[in-house]
Amino acid sequence: MIFYPSCLIISDFDEAPGLRNVISHLSDDTFPFVLSKAGLGYQYVATITEHEEYRVSLALNDGTEIRMDHVQSVWLHYVVDHRYNKQPEHIKKYVSYEKIYFWKWMVNALTFLPNARWYNNPEAMDIAEHKTHQRRMARDVGFCVPQSIITCDRSDAEQFLAEDKQFIFKMLYTWMDKDIFFEPTRLFTKDMLPLLDSLYLCPVYFQEYIDGPYDYRVTVVDDAMIAVRYDTQKRDYPFDMRINIYQGQEQCVLPEAVQQNIHALMKRLGLRYGAIDLREDKNGEFYFLEVNPSGSFSWVDKSSGTNIAKTIAKALSCTKHDYQKDSVPHAKFFNSFEDIPFAVRVEKPVWSV
């Protein structure tokens, strides 16, 4: 059997509600294929060919061949670095890292698909993940940006924190591994100064605290912009909007100048999708905090009544071609990695021959 997807979704299922919602809103003419890192080698096999043409071949365990020739859209969605535990102990780490690099090379090879629009291109995502780079780009397009330092040097940290202002500190990266400690953004207080003795063990991201009434989460999909405002005065914890998402939130429309800055930043970074965090200070000035090229959206939809999933689905939806038919039964969306056939639909037809 051969399956010709028109939409490729590269994702694992840790955020299944968001993924389900997007797939359920795809147009009837769109034929998606969900490619999961966790299933590599167990539920499908892959080959990267580097001869006269550069291509990726996929085959499911049941023998179904996945042809990428006509993919029109690709969503590089939230992928976790899974470790593979079915090997003997003495080679487990070696096999794990070999698979991780094979996966990265495979995704990069897929960027050669001739007619696909990416949300987002993996090379652009890798560059945009660097906070210092995105903050420099944000400043260049006209945003105010808080003073920051990322360091494991106590003397540099002490010098930065000696200024007569408030500071916060936060994780360099939010690791999506349930076994890794999560540190919310916190206010730095003077009684924490002795803790700088252990700073050499782990770098810390220190930033000037912008005191203001509102935080914003802005989700951008191409030209679409969905903004949610969080009233810090109505929140139990004003330093991190991820803490208690059901307090002080409302949909809003950003000032035109801020919207223009956001679109200019996304263009500079080469991103078609991004979740941007802003803070408005007491004088009404908007400060750029960060952009997450693969930022989560389901919690925003759930807490604020937005429909980001539908906006993403509209961007991913494709035109049906004559090599795709809609005459087969609907596939169901499974609840675990073990059950997922990796060519899935939610109440939508899938074609195979």
The mean per-residue pLDDT over the stretch 118-127 comes to 93
Top CATH class of 121-144+213-293 equals alpha beta
pLDDT at 232: 81
Closest residue by Cα to residue 120 from 259, 223, 274, 11: 274
Domain 147-209 part of CATH 3.30.1490: yes
pLDDT at 185: 83
Burial of 236 (C-beta count, 10 Å sphere; 0-12/13-18/19+): exposed
Phi-psi region of 293 (alpha: psi -120 to 50; beta: other; left: phi over 0): alpha
Tokens of 103: 């996966």
pLDDT digits (tens, 9 = 90+) for 257-306: 999 999 999 999 999 999 999 999 999 999 999 999 988 898 899 889 99
pLDDT at 80: 60
| Bond before 120 cis per omega within 30 degrees | yes
Q: Give how far Cα 301 sits from Cα of 120, 217, 231, 290, 309, Å.
A: 21, 11, 17, 20, 8
Answer whether residue 333 shows pLDDT above 50: no
* Cβ-contact 20, 77 below 8 angstroms: no
333 against 222, higher pLDDT: 222
pLDDT digits (tens, 9 = 90+) for 134-158: 999 999 999 999 999 999 999 999 9
Least confident piece of the model among 165-169, 231-235, 329-333: 329-333
pLDDT at 353: 24
pLDDT at 318: 83
State the average pLDDT for the chain: 82
Least confident piece of the model among 39-43, 74-78, 81-85, 192-196: 81-85
232 against 17, higher pLDDT: 232
80 against 250, higher pLDDT: 250
Domain boundaries, the chain: 2-120+311-339, 121-144+213-293, 147-209
> 288 φ, ψ to 5°?
-80, 130
Read off the DSSP letter of residue 350: -
232 against 180, higher pLDDT: 232
Q: pTM for this structure?
A: 0.82
Answer whether residue 347 shows pLDDT above 50: no
Range list of β-strands (E), 89-166 = 117-119, 148-151
